[in-house]
Each structure stands twice: as structure tokens, then as C-alpha cells.
Amino acid sequence: MDLTCDDVISVIAEHLAGRISRAQVAAWAFDQFYRLEQDELNVPPDEEAVIRDALDDLMFADDEPFILSEVELRQLMDRLAQV
């Protein structure tokens, strides 16, 4: 399976639109991060670093000290879109 910056952006957008919860985003990000670590995901080499960083930020996004604001989520989307 492949994972791109656009995929991560889509999940964040779904959350911002109210279609998936913060907990669902965190669980999805954790699963993707684990699959990436296990070499079960293909990511474009030029996107890997930003995807790893984004997943790292998102997988704890349901834990109070690490919750990302809407502004921070939009900044993350912008960072992903620039790759």
C-alpha cells in the first residue's frame, strides 16, 4: 500500500470537517506510523520525512498535552502540501 502527503492531508481535512474524531485521526496515524516502521507502506522518498513528522504529531493528537489546534492542523496541511 502507498501513503502520500495527499493521503495525510485528506485525513486532517476529514477531521476539520467534523467527519472523523481526534481519536480516529490519532488511531489512523498510529497505524500508518507502525506500518511504515514495519516496511508495510510505500511512501515517495521525497515525502517520507514530512510524512513521518506529521504522523508523529497526529498519533498523539487525542492526548490532552499534544492536541493540535485548528491553526496547527492547517499549518501541518500546508507543510504537507509543499512537498
pLDDT at position 68:
94
pLDDT at position 12:
98
Residue 31, C-beta contacts closer than 8 angstroms, at least 6 positions apart:
none
Q: Mean pLDDT over all residues of the chain?
A: 95
pLDDT at position 1:
73
Cβ count within 10 A of residue 18: 7
Cβ count within 10 A of residue 38: 8
pLDDT digits (tens, 9 = 90+) for 20-79: 999 999 999 999 999 999 999 999 999 999 999 999 999 998 888 889 999 999 999 999
